[in-house]
Amino acid sequence: MSERPLTILFVPESAYGPTNNCIGIGDVLRRRGHRVVFAAEASWKGRLEPLGFEEDLADLAPPGAGAAAGTIQARDGLAEAAHLIEQAAS
């Protein structure tokens, strides 16, 4: 096992159940010295940092924008997540 601290990125569905599951796992990783980042919807602002996690928040498409806007934002969000992972790996 590597002694080098890792950066762990969680991208949970924007709901309490999935996010709480990631918080539990993330807390164990954080206490072991790893950097834990949550890529979450903007409504989570200020809820994860007090727990010791980094927040990387994104605004979702406004209501009524249609499925196409959501698809574009999801694609852009995945591209941003890939960029963060590449940065963390280097």
Q: For residue 52, give the amino acid letter.
A: G
Number of domains in the chain: 1
Give the DSSP per-residue string, 31-58.
HTT-EEEEEEEGGGTTTSGGGT-EEEEE
Domain range for 44 is 7-89
Cα 5 to Cα 31, 45, 72, 88: the distances in Å are 11, 25, 33, 11
User: Does any domain span residue 64?
Assistant: yes
User: Does any domain span residue 73?
Assistant: yes
Q: Model-level pTM greater than 0.75?
A: no
User: Does any domain span residue 2?
Assistant: no
User: Does any domain span residue 19?
Assistant: yes
By the 8 A CB rule, do 76 and 60 touch?
A: no
Q: pLDDT, tens digit, for every residue of 49-82? A: 999 999 999 887 566 655 454 455 556 666 677 6
Beta bridge partners of 7: 35
User: Does any domain span residue 44?
Assistant: yes
Q: pLDDT, tens digit, for every residue of 6-42? A: 999 999 988 889 999 999 999 999 999 999 999 998 8
Write the CATH number for 48.
Answer: 3.40.50.2000
